[in-house]
Structure 1
């Protein structure tokens, strides 16, 4: 009995010690309650639908797609029609004469308001492809199949003040003796970064040089300076020589 009594005595001591330890732990838990998770723990074994998988599926990064600005269809002009050019045209204007059937050349006259050049230096043609320090210049010809295109570049804002008008001319190759009636698919395109205009000159067998269009200074109703474009389509029977004399160019 003494052994049993000793065992009971020690068990009571251990219980008291355990109760004290548990009581302390319980107090600590009350003082520092565990923080509840914001979201439930993920269930890695849950079956997901295809739509959910597709939504969260990793994707390969793609470079941003840049699109070219949409090209605006050219505005067709009729003989005698004129319009005010946008300001963008002052900084850069491209002229392209497209044709087939025979050879022809693009020519520019930089004149005063009366259509006369200040000097022979204001005459731009195949033997003098630039004027006004490059503000008006020919860019050469290119052959595309059965057709030819000759281009010119004009910087209206850089033209000297004495140039009030620029006359855009085509003239037939003098060695062939052909007239403008020999040209096929003849078309003049004038454009800037925001707009393009096109004009189809008449096929006239009686002339060898033709004024296709003019660029000229003008004053708007509120007095602001503007550049205007006019389609013409009229010519000279005696070709480039007669046209040059009419614009004040000395022809030897």
Structure 2
């Protein structure tokens, strides 16, 4: 290769590396642009959730028999013996006749084998048809149950029943599309008499903002190196993300509430992170906002400056959210009876209702008055609440006495694909090792779950008694995540209930606290999820 050719190759290689660095930089810019457009991304979207659309039937399961191609019958011509020559008819007639007889016998055996194979194939095909018909029937049944639930929610909304209002708004917030990797979870409390909604919202941490600003190619080391984003720019972008998110969440619930159930919204936005001053985990309130429906909807969010807008709405903003400098969360004074909440235990809720305060985000831990933060490693959930899971290895333990844990691996159709996907004392381990029962607990590894599994349904049932007296359990995230504890508010009168479900959403796993009971026990619950119970 000539020197000129080598120089040309080197130049082309360097240009390719420069383009690679430029594309990496452009990707960072797109991430920042998406973060800075959190609010504008929802302004062109109608956040009203048409529940009627949720009644649309899903596609029917496709019939995949997986029984192979049907066997082909043997052709008698393939077993024919060529006629003898003239001399053969004289000297080898008997040998030809013997060969012809042998080939005819071979044909009869092949014909018999074909008949057996055809019968076996037909039996497998019939069994595949029966399984498919059962799958279709389960899908239809599940859809009918889903339609009934949606209809009940619609009736509840029309009557402004608190639990229906909160569950509808929970669906609205869950349907919101945020930038990739943008975690968000929430807790809701609603007082129907005052038309008051309290939102405790978990913001993303500061590392949602890319720490690198750009990439460049260094020819001397043949490496693409990052340029750090200035701390002031990280602080500015992060503060803007929090302000936009607060305005967006309030906008979404008010726009979705066409029935006018909400008259006042209180939003407290929190971040859980390591306090750089103490090195300890804290949960700090960084944005607090209280607004009436009329005042908020009079604002044109497409044209506002978020700092000026939140000042106009008299919000409280952290002076430096990157340092977790907290503000006091807003609590409403006066009489406020909370009818339905998705974030506190029964006793804490009653206390807050009496004093007219917004229920705390963690039922078992009170916020410190000095900084609005707590250091609890356990989070108490309430029925309907959903939170993201940080770890793939999970441990679920039943804390209640005289109660057992069972697990159902549920597919997209809302039922198990096979009876082996029902894990209980007689079938304690899944075939792929993703779930193992032990005593009154279970270990779950979401990384090992099969692709067909969309939900892991966690069931608590009575052991040694007719009915459950308590169904408290805790999900621990092995590797450092927060422990998630849930005590279903009313487990009496049922012998089995769905404690919660670990479900897949946009490629990530979340936990939803459910607390739905089954009067006909574990067998009836399993049957409703498609298990063939003798």
> Which position in structure 2 is the counterpart of 1:134?
433
What 5-or-longer segments of structure 1 have no aligned partner? Answer: 1-68, 141-149, 220-224
Could you tell me whether the CA contact under 8 Å between 1:72 and 1:196 is conserved in 2? no
From 494, 505, 511, the equivalent of 1:207 is 494
> Which position in structure 2 is the counterpart of 1:161?
451
Could you tell me whether the CA contact under 8 Å between 1:213 and 1:231 is conserved in 2? yes
SS in 1 for 2:395: strand
From 108, 133, 154, the equivalent of 2:407 is 108
> Which position in structure 1 is the counterpart of 2:384?
80
Larger % of helix: which? 2
| Mapping for residues 19-34 of structure 1, pairs under 5 Å | none
> Which position in structure 2 is the counterpart of 1:97?
398
> Structure 1 length as normaliser, TM-score?
0.60
> Which position in structure 2 is the counterpart of 1:188?
473
Number of matched pairs: 160
Instruction: Provide the rounded CA distance (Å) in 2 between the counterparts of 1:72 and 1:129.
Output: 33
Instruction: Provide the rounded CA distance (Å) in 1 between the counterparts of 2:387 and 2:491.
Output: 25
Structure 1 stretches of at least 4 aligned residues deviating more than 6 Å after TM superposition: none
> Which position in structure 1 is the counterpart of 2:517?
235
From 444, 447, 467, the equivalent of 1:179 is 467
Q: For each residue in 1:21-45, what CA deviation from the matched residue of structure 2 results, as whole angstroms up to 9, or x when unmatched?
A: xxxxxxxxxxxxxxxxxxxxxxxxx
Could you tell me whether the CA contact under 8 Å between 2:428 and 2:437 is conserved in 1? yes
Instruction: Provide the rounded CA distance (Å) in 2 between the counterparts of 1:72 and 1:114.
Output: 38
1:125 aligns with 2:413: no
What 5-or-longer segments of structure 2 have no aligned partner? Answer: 1-279, 282-374
SS in 2 for 1:190: strand
Larger % of strand: which? 1
> Which region of structure 1 is more displaced relative to structure 2, 225-234 or 194-203?
194-203
Q: For each residue in 1:97-152, what CA deviation from the matched residue of structure 2 results, as whole angstroms up to 9, or x when unmatched?
A: 1112xx22100000112320010110100110011422101122xxxxxxxxx221
Q: CA deviation at 1:201?
A: 1.5
1:251 aligns with 2:533: yes
Larger-Rg structure: 1
Could you tell me whether the CA contact under 8 Å between 1:106 and 1:125 is conserved in 2? yes
> What is the CA RMSD across the aligned residues, in angstroms?
1.8
Could you tell me whether the CA contact under 8 Å between 1:97 and 1:189 is conserved in 2? yes
